[in-house]
Amino acid sequence: MIHAIAHIEFNAINLAIDAVYRYPEMPEGFHADWIDVAADEARHFELLRGRLAEAGAAYGDFPAHDGLWDMALRTRHDPLARMALVPRVMEARGLDVTPGIMRKFSGIGDDATVKVLELILREEIGHVEAGTRWFHHLCARRHLEPEATYFSLLREYLHGEIRCPLHHAARRDAGFSENELKRLEELCAKH
Ligand SMILES: [Fe+2]
Ligand SMILES: [Fe+2]
């Protein structure tokens, strides 16, 4: 489990750096935000690597999937799609599942890992919030209605297949509206 999360954090470093590199036309604040995110992700990775080392393991010891990078490739042509699908879907999913993972580690008495996950959860809210902010910025620039645009991207890229339950409080802090949360849950109910 720690290896799987370390892999996500490792991909997240590259995803944040890719956003900086990929969209030179974006404002300076965008690049500054994703540099900051990359630094957070590197710290998250290091913390988890420390937990792996304590268990006598290292990153690369287990197989890992490529789902996160796949989404980087699919959204590379457009920062609007990137913000919707990477921070506002994939990183947001992390907010939903982390409390349950923390309970599992707490159940086996691994409080050191729980502490690391607590910090990760707190900082990930900021990453999703940055995604929301830049998603709205791009929608405004293109005269698009953000909510309709977000849900049409979910249809296009994910066929509307969204997983629940959602962590409402964390997602609200990250800029999801009540109506977005409601509509996401309606999508969950359909699949
Ligand atoms: Fe992270
Ligand atoms: Fe993140």
pLDDT digits (tens, 9 = 90+) for 81-93: 999 999 999 999 9
* Residues lower than pLDDT 50 in the chain: none
Q: Which ligand approaches the C-alpha of residue 127 most closely?
A: 2
| pLDDT value of residue 191 | 76
- Spell out the SS3 assignment of 130-184: HHHHHHHHHHHHCCCCHHHHHHHHHHHHHCCCCCCCCCHHHHHHCCCCHHHHHHH
Q: Which ligand approaches the C-alpha of residue 128 most closely?
A: 2
| pLDDT value of residue 190 | 87
Backbone torsions φ then ψ of 39, nearest 5 degrees: -65, -40
| pLDDT value of residue 13 | 97
- Neighbour tally for 182: CB within 10 Å: 10
Domains of the chain, residue spans: 2-190
| Class of the CATH domain delimited by 2-190 | mainly alpha
In the reported structure, the alpha carbon of residue 94 is separated from the centroid of ligand 1 by a whole-number distance in angstroms of 9
- In this prediction the pTM is 0.97
| pLDDT value of residue 38 | 98
| pLDDT value of residue 44 | 98
In the reported structure, the alpha carbon of residue 13 is separated from the centroid of ligand 1 by a whole-number distance in angstroms of 8
Q: Which ligand approaches the C-alpha of residue 90 most closely?
A: 2
pLDDT digits (tens, 9 = 90+) for 7-37: 999 999 999 999 999 999 999 999 999 999 9
CB-based neighbours (< 5 A) of ligand 2, an ion: 12, 91, 124, 127
| pLDDT value of residue 67 | 80
